[in-house]
Structure formats: structure tokens, C-alpha cells
Amino acid sequence: MDYTIFMVMIGSSLVGCVSGALGSFAVLRKQSLLGDAISHAALPGIALAFLITMAKSPMIFMAGAMIAGWIGTMLVMAIVRHTVIKEDAALGMILSVFFGFGLVLLTLIQRLPTANKSGLTHYLFGSAATLLLEDVKAMCLMGVVTLAGLFLFWKEFKLFTFDKDYATALGFPVKRIELILTLLTVTAIVMGLQTVGVILMSAMIIAPAAAARQWTDRLWLMVVLSAVFGAVSGLSGALLSGFVAQLPTGPTIVLIMSAIVLISLLFAPNRGMIWEWFQRRQETKLLRQKLMEKHKS
């Protein structure tokens, strides 16, 4: 197998797995816009990291993206806590402001002599083909840390997600739990910026969890299914883009994930549209039989 395709396969599947697992909590907490806001907020962090260091290093870019995404998330939480602005409006504000600031910085960078060597524009739509072994190692490290954090704080995250007030009454540090969960989400998003890009990364957070939610009511199974759906999408998108010329990896991954969501919405037991249609048809048929029997008697 080609070395580049192999690196892209590992990186993409890892991104899909981690983002899918963390995205389950965002979907259950009705914070679907959070992934979009964090990914867009990371753009100025990448640009500033390059301007400060003048080095084309994925690790430096990831560090800048993580800091910017964390700052953006903290600003959203502060706006919601200290003003009358709702969370969705705050997320939209931070998303647009940070993304606009990032585009301004990218425009300034393009005028520098080293702009053609920076490769920052790849982070808008992703450039999985540029993944190297060092990048995959860094992504593996971040993925292991993120999944380990999810495992260690599983009980706290579960309680916080379903009943925040009850968690507060039991004495759990709710604000600290929220900060840790947000930090893990930021880490998962930063992992995928180089592969999927700023604009499409939100789909990797929301889509696998939305698909998994159709199949189960149990949190642990939803997280596992979401991680599997994300990994399968990343792996399939990497393979397909590797064997078809001029086919971008990031959009291909998102399209495959969208197909999984569509299949889940249609065919998932108990929640799928076709399943519900079949159930209603069976109930109607049974009701008619009972009415006919009653009429005959």
C-alpha cells in the first residue's frame, strides 16, 4: 500500500473515532453548534502561531488552534453566564468573529515572502495528503489522551450531560467538569483540522453522534457506535480519495458520513422513518382486523 494513503487512512480513521465519541455529548447536550464554533475559532490561532514562530510545523499549528479554540469556548461560556444572550447566539457570534479575524490574518500572511510556504490555506478545507508520520504520531497521542480523559471522567460526564442540577446537588464540581469536557472536545476538533479542515470539521463532531443516536438509547452504546461510524467514514473516505484522482479526502469523508446518517434516519429500528412507517402500517392493519371482527360479531 502507498505510504501516503496509509498515513491518511490512519489519521482519518483516528479523527473520526475520537470526534465521534466526544460528539455524542455535544449532541445530547443540544450543543451541535459548539463543534462549528470551536473549529472556526481555531483558524486565527493557526495564523497567529505562524506569525509568531514563522515555522511551518503542524505541532505549532495545533497548539495555536487549541489555545484559540479554548479561548473562544471560554468566551461563549462567559457571555452566556454574564449576559442575557442565549447560547446559540453566543456561539454564532464567536464563530463569525473568530473566523473573520482568521481570514484577515490569512490575507496578511499571503503578502509575506514566506506565505507560499506556510500552507495555512490547507486548514480551511483540509489537506489529508500532507499527513506525515510525525503528524500521525501527534494525532495518536492526542487521541489517546482524549479517550483516556473520557474514560476517567465517564461517570461525571454522564451525570452532567443528563442532569446538571442533580450533579450540582450531589456536590460535583459542575463548572470544572464542563471545562474538562470542553477541553477534550477542543482537542478532538484540533486533531482533525489538518485532515478535514476548519469548515467541515463540525460535521465530524455532529454527524456520527446523530447517526448513532438513531440506533440506541444507551449512552455507552451511542458513544461506541458514534466512534465506529466516524472511524469507518474516515477510513472509507481516505481509501476512496486515494484511488480516485483529484478527489479531496475531507469532503469525501463528510459525504460518506452523511450517507451513514441518512441510512440511520431511514432504517434504524424504533426511530427510522421507514421503520415507523412499517409500524404504523402494521398497527393500522391490526386495527382494521379488529374492527372487522367486531363488526361481524
For the cut 90, the answer to whether the pLDDT of residue 232 exceeds it is yes
240 or 285, greater pLDDT: 240
User: How high is the pLDDT of residue 90?
Assistant: 84
Q: Are 197 and 126 in contact (CB under 8 A)?
A: yes
Instruction: Please give the grid coordinates belonging to residue 31.
Output: 450543543
The residue ranges of every structural domain in the chain are 3-296
What is the homologous superfamily of the domain 3-296 according to CATH? ABC transporter involved in vitamin B12 uptake, BtuC (1.10.3470.10)
Average pLDDT, the chain: 84
Residue 228: pLDDT band by 50, 70, 90 thresholds?
very high
Residue 119: pLDDT band by 50, 70, 90 thresholds?
low
Residue 82: pLDDT band by 50, 70, 90 thresholds?
confident
Residue 131: pLDDT band by 50, 70, 90 thresholds?
confident
Q: Are 12 and 128 in contact (CB under 8 A)?
A: yes
User: How high is the pLDDT of residue 114?
Assistant: 64
Helices (H) and strands (E) in the chain, counts: 14, 0
For the cut 70, the answer to whether the pLDDT of residue 115 exceeds it is no
**Euclidean distance between CA atoms 234 and 257, whole angstroms:** 8
**Euclidean distance between CA atoms 39 and 33, whole angstroms:** 10
User: How high is the pLDDT of residue 251?
Assistant: 85
Range of 18-32, 119-133, 225-239 with top mean pLDDT? 225-239
Kindly report which listed range (45-54, 260-269, 277-286) carries the lowest average pLDDT score: 277-286
Q: Which of 184, 135, 149, 127 is nearest to 7 (CA)?
A: 135
User: How high is the pLDDT of residue 221?
Assistant: 93
For the cut 60, the answer to whether the pLDDT of residue 264 exceeds it is yes
Q: Are 22 and 184 in contact (CB under 8 A)?
A: yes
Instruction: Please give the grid coordinates belonging to residue 188.
Output: 478532538
Amino acid 52 reads I
CA distances from 7 to 29, 239, 253, 276 (A): 33, 11, 15, 42
User: How high is the pLDDT of residue 167?
Assistant: 83
Encode 216-231: b = buried (16+ Cβ within 10 Å), e = exposed.
beebeebbbbbbbbbb
- Give the mean model confidence (pLDDT) for residues 177-193: 86
- Give the mean model confidence (pLDDT) for residues 98-108: 86
DSSP SS3 for 84:
coil
| Cβ partners under 8 Å of residue 100, min gap 6 | none
User: How high is the pLDDT of residue 152?
Assistant: 92
- Give the mean model confidence (pLDDT) for residues 21-29: 89
**Euclidean distance between CA atoms 110 and 183, whole angstroms:** 31
CA atoms in the 13 A half-sphere facing the CB of 182: 22
Amino acid 39 reads S
